[in-house]
Amino acid sequence: MLQFRKTLFGGIAPALLSIVLASPVVASDAHHAHHKDHNFGAFTKDNVLLTPKDYREWIFVGGPVTPNDMNDGKPAFPEFHNTYIDPASWNHWKKTGEFRDGTVIVKELVSVGTKQSASGNGYFPGEFNGIAAMVKDSKRYPDKPGNWAFFGFESYDAKQGAIQADDACAACHKANAAQDMVFIQHYPVLRAAKPKK
Ligand code: HEC
C-alpha cells in the first residue's frame, strides 16, 4: 500500500502534471467542456430556485425599460429590466438557437434615476430594485408551460425565490413572446447570435 501510494504520488502525478503542462490546448478544452455542461441554477429539494448571486457576470442580453412616467407610475416591473442568460445556455443558444434544459434567465430591476445627463435628456439607471427569473427544465418542471418555471424574489437577501402561478407570469409570456416564451423580439443580442438555418 505504502509502495502503491509512493508510486501514485511520486510517479504518476508528476507524469500527469507534465502532460497537462505540456499540452495547454487539451487542458483548456477539458475546462471548456466542463463549463458548457455546468448548470448555473441552484435549487431547494422542492425545485425552488435559490436567489441567483453572480448573474452580473453572465451574458447581458438587453435592458427594456418601462418608466413609471409612461405607465401611470405602475409598470408591471419597475423600470429598467437588465436581462442576463447563464453562460452555458448562451453557448447552447449560439450553437442551436434553442433554450436548453437548465437555462436560467434573470431580469434585474433598476429604477430610473435622473432624466438628464451630459449626453442629453433620457432615462438613466438609478438604483437596483429587485430581481425576477425564469428557469427551463423538463425534469424539474414537466407540467409547466414550455417547462419554464417563473420566480419572484422578495429581496436580494431572500434565500430563495417564490414559484409563481402560471396565470401570473407564464400565460403572458406564452401568448406574446417570440420564441419559447422568451421575448427575443426585445433582445438584439440573442437574435444576432442565433445561428442562421
Ligand atoms: C402582461 C405580460 C407579462 C407578465 C404577466 C409577466 N411578464 Fe415577464 N416579461 C414580459 C415582457 C414583455 C418581457 C420583455 C420586455 C420587458 O422586460 O419589459 C418580459 C421579460 C421577462 C423576463 C426576461 C426574459 C424574457 O422572457 O424576456 C423574465 C425573467 C420575466 N419576464 C419574468 C416574469 C415573471 C417572474 C413574471 C410573473 C411574476 C412575469 N414575467 C410576468 C411580459 C410579462
Coil, strand or helix at 55: helix
Going from the Cα of 111 to the center of ligand 1, the distance in angstroms, rounded, reads: 16
Please provide the CATH number assigned to the domain covering 38-193: 3.50.70.20
Query: How many other CB atoms sit within 10 Å of the CB of residue 21?
Result: 9
Structure confidence at residue 38 (pLDDT)? 83
Quick check: CB of 85 below 6 Å from ligand 1? Answer: no
| pLDDT tens-digit profile, the chain (197 residues) | 344 443 334 444 444 444 444 444 444 344 444 455 688 999 999 999 999 999 999 999 999 999 999 999 999 999 999 999 999 999 999 999 999 999 999 999 999 999 999 999 999 999 999 999 999 999 999 999 999 999 999 999 999 999 999 999 999 999 999 999 999 999 999 999 999 97
Locate the ligand 1 atom nearest the alpha carbon of residue 132 and give its number: 35
DSSP-assigned letter for residue 11? I
Per the DSSP assignment, residues forming a β-bridge with 51 are: none
Residue with CA nearest ligand 1 atom 18: 64
Quick check: CB of 83 below 6 Å from ligand 1? Answer: yes
